Amino acid sequence: MRFLYFFLSLFCIFTSAHAQFSGHYNALNITGTTNTLKSEIPLAQPSVTGSTYLDDDWQPAEIVLKDGNVISELPVRVEIEQGNVEIQYKGEVKFLNLARVDSLMLVDRTTQSTVIVVKAAAFVVDGVPLQGIAMVHSGKQYNVVKHLYIEFLPSNYNVAMDVGSKDHRKVKKERLYLANGSDIVLMKGSNKKILKQLHLENANTLEIIRQEKLNLTNESDLIRFVDLM
């Protein structure tokens, strides 16, 4: 009798357990909405990478404020996206927006030439003010304008293929222009195309470019062209 009771108890426990398991879980499909087991580990929220500084290192500069005051020989860093200047002063970092600056002069470490840094909004292309900052190499007639701005690239990671970037990225971009007063021309295409836009298709200009072997889309060559002109 005890044996029969024990056997019936085991049978009930097994039947109940089997019903519960088969009713909630499927060993061949563990990703359904009724299951607690998952086939993927959730990805962490994307972070934002990339520097938005003109140069990550500090460098001396001369700053002339709009009220006429001059700040000179203090280490600075220029942030492109917001147009802010960080200044090291007596062991502290002070912040100054380029909108309050008449001129900021420093050495462009790419070309080793002295340039003036301003907010890019000082230049308008197709009726739209530029974003970011501009580095201006001044000539007698023309100015070389290097426009620097930040492009935001969202995360494009593909889990299935395991390719792409898991993080959002901020990338420094630049464009090169030649300015003559309020006129500004993008340095893109052949020398002939650029000269046509500048209305400089004369024999003298063509000879300068030929002798100096200049490529007007190259920054150093463009600065050389402006100095010769």
Contact (Cβ atoms closer than 8 angstroms) between residue 2 and residue 10: no
What is the Cα Rg of the chain in Å?
32
What is the predicted pLDDT for the residue at 17?
47
Query: In order along the chain (229 residues), what is the average pLDDT of each group of 10 residues?
Result: 51 49 46 55 74 94 93 93 94 93 92 92 93 94 95 80 77 95 91 91 90 95 92
Cβ atoms of 68 and 82 within 8 Å: the answer is no
pLDDT of residue 128: 94
Q: Among positive and negative, which fits the CA dihedral 94, 98, 100, 104?
A: positive
Bridging pattern class, strands 168-180 and 48-49: parallel
Q: What is the pTM of this model?
A: 0.75
CB 144 within 8 A of CB 226: yes
- Please list, residue by residue across 141-166, b when 16 or more beta carbons sit within 10 angstroms of its beta carbon and e when fewer do: ebbbbbbbbbeeeeeeeeeeeeeeee
Alpha-carbon gap, residue 199 to 195, rounded angstroms: 6
